[in-house]
Structures are given as C-alpha cells and as structure tokens.
C-alpha cells in the first residue's frame, strides 16, 4: 500500500491509502481523479527514520535496513505542515506554553524551556 497526503497552502488536508499494485496508483491518479496536490508519505516513518514494522524483545520499534523508504521525515495527519523546500511533514506547533523550536533533523517540535 502507498499513502498520499493532499497538500493545500502548506497544510495537510487529508491522507489516503492506495493499492501499490494497482496500475493507476500514485500521484497522477490522485491528482487527475481527485484534483489538488498530492505528496507520497510513509506510514512507517517517524523522526526521519523508517521502521520495519517489527519490534525487538523490549517492544522497541526496529529501524528498517532500507532507509531510502524514510519519506519526508514523518507520517502526517490532517492539519500537519508540509515544508516543500525541506520536503518534510511536521506537526502543528504545540499550543502549550514554552519556547518551541522545530528540530530540522527530526521535524518535531522541541521545548527549549525544559
């Protein structure tokens, strides 16, 4: 399966799943049939690392041997940001008090006051 995020004005509107084996799957299908701008994303990518979907004996996620599958730093959700220049998805800035800075190695927010 492949996952695709619809982008409008730098924000993720929705994420849809396509059948990787279908001949019409991919950006052209989403763009031509649904319209808009679509960017592929990886369900198993977090903080710039692609995970295999398996866990070790401690329950920790195991990184994939093939890190070329680590698409766009994070798997997005509706309302997330998409930085076209960096080709990265990242969550909205937290609403909590604090001095939040976007870590551009993981594309996650880091609270500088803690």
Query: pLDDT tens digits, residue range 17-53?
Result: 876 555 555 667 777 778 889 999 999 999 999 999 9
Sign of the Cα torsion 76, 81, 86, 87 reads positive
Which CA distances in Å does 79 have to 7, 14, 15, 82, 86?
10, 8, 10, 10, 18
User: Any bridge partners for residue 88, and if so which?
Assistant: 83
Mean pLDDT of 72-100: 94
Query: How far apart are alpha carbons 38 and 47 in whole angstroms?
Result: 21
What local confidence, expressed as pLDDT, does residue 27 receive?
A: 65
pTM of the predicted model as reported, rounded to 2 decimal places = 0.86
What local confidence, expressed as pLDDT, does residue 22 receive?
A: 54
CB 51 within 8 A of CB 45: yes
What local confidence, expressed as pLDDT, does residue 41 receive?
A: 94
Q: Domain tally for the chain?
A: 1
Question: pLDDT tens digits for 76-89?
Answer: 999 999 999 999 99
CB 41 within 8 A of CB 47: no
Residue appearing with tokens 């969550």: 91
86: containing domain: 2-111
């Amino acid at each position: 399966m492949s996952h695709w995020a619809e982008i409008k004005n730098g924000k993720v509107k929705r994420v849809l799943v396509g059948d990787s084996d279908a001949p019409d799957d991919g950006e052209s299908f989403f763009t031509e049939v649904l319209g808009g701008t679509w960017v592929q994303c990886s369900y198993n990518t977090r903080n710039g690392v692609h995970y295999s979907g398996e866990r070790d004996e401690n329950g920790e996620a195991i990184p994939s041997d093939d890190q070329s599958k680590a698409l766009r730093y994070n798997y997005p959700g509706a309302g997330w940001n998409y930085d076209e220049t960096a080709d990265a998805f990242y969550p909205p800035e937290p609403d909590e008090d604090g001095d939040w800075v976007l870590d551009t190695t993981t594309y996650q927010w880091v609270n500088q006051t803690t």
